[in-house]
């Protein structure tokens, strides 16, 4: 084992015998571009709705519930996909979330939520995980579209205007998800949940 | 052969003619779904708009369940969660600026007041409905109680 490691280490440290420096640098550069492009493309594919609802767990539960809500169908035809709310848009956090998502592959392999009953049983846990995530990142994914700066409080009803304008001044530590739970999927049994 | 084709052609023409004749596709009764024939599928009427203005309406008689003066599109009211009680529950009503559900909703069938809204009164839209700008499907000659009393008084004085 050690012998083989040492062999590869020496091979890596030795100057190239057959290939020119130009081939190695340019080739490495090109291979890098192809690798990076391929990686990002694959990453973006996992961000599409087709990918998410490719599994029946996601298609027959959260996706069906989303369909009734304003985030799926509305007057102006702007809509949010799974990844718009569930995956951060900037790179670092996106990679972090993607690494977390490897657990979901595990869940898929072992059928953790592959029946409506199992999904219902896990609904609270799954919902709470998303609420905590959004609470921790100050509802970042909501704010990708819904900006306080662009909200016309005069067009909102008085109660909403008050809630939104005090949240804007930074009084209290409220964020979107504190009030707007269950806007895109059905809520779990909220009996034991402090709101 | 020619004869057969001629007979078949006339027969099929006759069938088309009878299918379009009023006897096989009579006009639909002018009920809630007006016009057309039984066989024809008409256009669906436009969906009545959600109420935009928050305006509380006067009840027409004391026991009338108050109508809902706001949109309730997509409200979840099921075993797991009741979106209406999010604002109208005893605890949340003051901070939400919403009227609290009346105490009768906390009574069980023996008139015993419970801590929570009882299951019999849990499904709000069984009695409370929002109002839309839809035209009434059937005419109604309902008169609110005040009008009835006023009319009675006027007749008495005459």
C-beta atoms of A186 and B78 within 8 A: yes
Which of B76, B94, B97, B115 is the best residue to mutate to test the A interface, defined by the most A CB atoms within 10 Å of its own CB? Answer: B76
| B80: nearest CB among A68, A157, A187 | A187
Q: Cite the DSSP H helix spans in chain A.
A: 2-13, 21-45, 49-52, 56-58, 64-66, 82-86, 91-100, 102-109, 116-136, 140-143, 158-168, 176-179
pLDDT band at B88 (very low <50, low <70, confident <90, very high): very high
- Give how far Cα B141 sits from Cα of B30, B136, B144, Å: 21, 12, 10
Q: Is the ipTM of this complex over 0.85?
A: no
Q: In chain A, which residue's Cα lies nearest the Cα of B52?
A: A157
CB spacing of A70 vs B96 below 8 angstroms:
no
Please provide residue A85's backbone torsions phi and psi, each rounded to the nearest 5 degrees: -105, -30
Domains of chain A, by residue range, sit at 55-187
What would the pLDDT profile of B106-154 be if each residue is shown by its tens digit? 999 999 999 999 999 999 999 998 888 777 778 889 888 888 899 999 9
Q: For A149, which DSSP code? A: G
Searching chain B, which residue's CA lies closest to the CA of residue A187? Answer: B81
What string of DSSP letters covers A34-57? HHHHHHHHHHHHTTSHHHHTTSHH
Closest residue in B to A189 (Cα–Cα): B80
- Count of alpha carbons within 13 angstroms of residue B146, beta-carbon side: 4
Predicted confidence pLDDT, tens digits, chain A (195 residues): 888 999 999 988 888 888 898 999 999 999 999 999 999 999 999 999 999 999 999 999 999 999 989 999 888 999 999 999 999 888 888 999 999 888 889 999 999 999 999 999 999 999 999 999 999 888 889 988 998 888 888 888 888 888 888 876 666 678 889 889 989 999 998 887 766
Note whether B80 contacts A189, CB cutoff 8 Å. yes
Q: Which residues of B touch A159 (CB under 8 A)?
A: 96-97
DSSP B56: P
The domains located in chain B, with CATH, are 54-132 (1.10.1130.10)
- Number of neighbouring beta carbons within 10 Å of residue A188: 21
């Amino acid at each position: 084992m050690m012998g083989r490691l040492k062999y590869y280490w020496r091979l890596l440290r030795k100057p190239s015998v057959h290939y020119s420096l130009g081939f190695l640098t340019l080739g490495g550069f090109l291979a890098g571009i192809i690798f990076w492009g391929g990686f990002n493309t694959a990453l973006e594919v996992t961000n599409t709705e087709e990918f998410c609802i490719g599994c029946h767990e996601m298609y027959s539960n959260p996706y069906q519930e989303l369909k009734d809500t304003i985030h799926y169908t509305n007057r102006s035809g702007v809509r949010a996909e799974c990844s718009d709310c569930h995956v951060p848009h900037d790179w670092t956090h996106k990679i972090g979330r993607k690494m977390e998502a490897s657990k979901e592959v595990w869940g898929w392999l072992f059928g953790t939520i592959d029946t409506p009953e199992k999904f219902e049983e896990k609904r609270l846990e799954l919902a709470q995980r998303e609420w905590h995530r959004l609470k921790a990142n100050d509802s970042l994914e909501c704010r990708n579209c819904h900006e306080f700066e662009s909200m016309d409080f005069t067009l909102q009803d008085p109660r909403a205007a008050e809630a939104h304008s005090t949240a804007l001044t930074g009084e209290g530590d409220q964020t979107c998800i504190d009030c707007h739970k269950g806007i895109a999927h059905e809520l779990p049994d909220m009996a034991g949940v402090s709101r | 052969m020619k004869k057969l084709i001629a007979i078949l052609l006339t027969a099929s023409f006759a069938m088309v003619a009878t299918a379009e004749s009023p006897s096989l596709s009579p006009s639909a009764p002018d009920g809630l779904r007006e016009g057309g024939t039984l066989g024809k599928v008409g256009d669906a009427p436009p969906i009545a708009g959600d109420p935009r203005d928050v305006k509380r309406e006067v009840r027409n008689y004391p026991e009338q369940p108050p109508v809902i003066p706001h949109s309730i599109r997509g409200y979840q009211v099921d075993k797991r969660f009741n979106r209406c009680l999010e604002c109208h529950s005893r605890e949340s009503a003051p901070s939400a600026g919403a009227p609290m559900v009346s105490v009768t909703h906390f009574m069980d069938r023996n008139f015993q007041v419970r801590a929570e809204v009882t299951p019999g009164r849990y499904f709000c839209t069984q009695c409370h409905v929002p109002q839309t700008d839809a035209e009434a499907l059937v005419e109604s000659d309902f008169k609110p109680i005040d009008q009835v009393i006023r009319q009675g008084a006027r007749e008495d004085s005459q």
